[in-house]
Amino acid sequence: MLRSSTLSLLFAGWAVALLPTAAGAADLSARFALGGGARFEGAPGRPALDLAVRADLLLPRTVGDYWGIGPSVELRTTGFDALDLAGGFSLFAPLGYYFGLSVSAGVGQSFAGPGRGLHAFTQLGWGMRAPFATEPYGSSQPVRHSLYSTGGGLYVRYARSLNLEDRSVLSAGIEFDPAAVVGMVEMLSWLFTSAGRG
């Protein structure tokens, strides 16, 4: 009962945070995470691959150098023998235009693997977070930005079981948004085309 109530409260916070988006005062982003680390289970750490899909909604980021805070959610596997669904909150602290530090913390539920049950996590990251432009590079139309922000960066994450077992995971890696890759390819294509015309 405690596990389901905790997760219900976290995802209810997500739903409440979505309400101000109509006013355009929010910043939504989703990323893939790829990394590696060690899993500790009362013994020396065993290497493990870290894969995840993460999303967060920060308020009131309407400009690139604004602070933002809001709910986050993730689906993660460590070593392919565990499946975790977690929710919490993220904070973005700008260190420059579109670049900054991010801190996330929360709790989750492991549905498979040796660490099945509740766990707590915290994550520190550094990277870019920029509004997604809806007009292609080189367009004569004014550039419009959507609610969605794209970006990527580096992260370090620590998770620990809240059950009686002594289990924890320490991992690090990169986060990237497929939209950022598409945007980079589009920008390079436009640059090469412009150079050819010149």
Q: How far is CA 192 from CA 10, 84, 137, 180, in A?
A: 46, 43, 12, 18
Domains of the chain and CATH, by start: 2-197 (2.40.160)
Alpha-carbon gap, residue 66 to 47, rounded angstroms? 37
- Residue 161: name the closest of 32, 75, 74, 42 by CA: 42
pLDDT tens for 108-125 read 998 876 667 888 999 999
pLDDT for 141 beyond 50: no
CA atoms within 13 A on the CB side of 114: 12
Please state the pTM of the whole predicted model: 0.73
Q: How far is CA 196 from CA 139, 185, 186, 189, in A?
A: 17, 16, 15, 11
Residue 137 pLDDT level (bands cut at 50, 70, 90): very low
pLDDT tens for 12-31 read 555 554 444 444 567 888 89
